[in-house]
Amino acid sequence: MPNPKLTTWALARLAAIGRSLDERDWEDKTMRIIESEMRDLKHKVLDMAELVLYQFEEVTLALNQLDYDLARKVRLQEKRIDLFDVNIDESCERIIALYQPLAGDLRFVFSVLKINAYLEQVGDLISGIARKLLEVRHNFDPEFLAQLELARLIEQTRVILSEALAAFFRENPELARGLSSRDDLIDRIHRDSFDIIIRYIQRQPDKASEYMQLYLIIKSFEKIADFAVGIAHEAIFHVEGEVTRHNDLNAYYEQLDERNRHQSAS
């Protein structure tokens, strides 16, 4: 005759094993779902990034060739970027709400949320450049454009944006860290351009509107570079968990303090 206590213990043990197998099976299924969601999210961000880079090339071509039809095409494509923005936000919210990702997965989702916002704003700036080109419709003197270093500004902005995105998708924080110095060059060109444009406005006040629209185009490229640096900071955070986006600001205040100390000493 079987021992009742032993039988009860065996049944309880079998039930526990069954529950353990069910839990493991559920965990495995959940992990597979999360991995699939993460892959889909990465593909969506990649598609959005490719569209933004394509738009950047198109608006640059429109600007160089004064192609107003192409500028209008760039304006129409902005809606596609807005749709990506909404779709990616919803995907991130769903992943956080349903699966509560941890560690690296959670950092990835947070980074995507910020990069998505940066890309949407870059898309807005590109559309704005196209709109300003349509408003200006003026063929500026090549010597004047050379003084502004416009071609160099656009090329450096393109490099920063493409490399920041490459750093994120390739999980390469070292590539991301090297982009701040490139942004310094763009900031310098932007600052110098204002003084140059003011001098030309003083010579040709009747062209003030056209010159100021060109300055706003230059400022838009400078802002695109700033957002690209933000993407680079998120590439570092995604891989290493290090928040670096305030480092440049801290360095600026340190330089300002040092300059003030020198002025006080003199």
What pLDDT sits at residue 105?
86
- Please state, in angstroms and rounded to a whole number, the distance separating the CA atoms of residues 219 and 186: 10
Q: Rounded to the nearest 10 degrees, what angle do helices 208-240 and 103-136 cross at?
A: 170
Q: Tell me the residue type at 186.
A: I
Q: Is 241 left (phi over 0), alpha (psi -120 to 50) or beta?
A: left
CB 137 within 8 A of CB 68: yes
Q: In sequence order, which residues have a C-beta less than 8 Å from that of residue 34 and are 6 or more positions away?
A: 95, 99, 101, 105
Per-residue pLDDT tens digits for 88-111: 999 999 988 888 777 788 899 999
Domains by residue range for the chain, with CATH? 1-137 (1.20.58.220), 140-266 (1.20.58.220)
Q: Is the confidence at residue 256, as pLDDT, over 50?
A: no
Query: CA 48: distance to chain centroid?
Result: 10
**In the predicted model, what is the mean pLDDT of residues 73-94?**
94
How confident is the model over 220-242, as pLDDT tens digits?
Answer: 999 999 999 999 999 999 888 77
Tell me what the pLDDT averaged over the chain comes to: 85
pLDDT in tens, 128-184: 999 999 988 777 888 898 999 999 999 999 999 999 999 999 999 999 998 888 889
Spell 158-187 as b/e; 16+ CB within 10 A means b. bebbebbbebbeeebbebbbebbebbeebe
pTM summary value: 0.80
Question: How large is the average pLDDT for residues 102-126?
Answer: 93
C-alpha–C-alpha distance, residues 125 and 228, integer Å: 12
Looking at residues 17-35, what average pLDDT do you find? 63
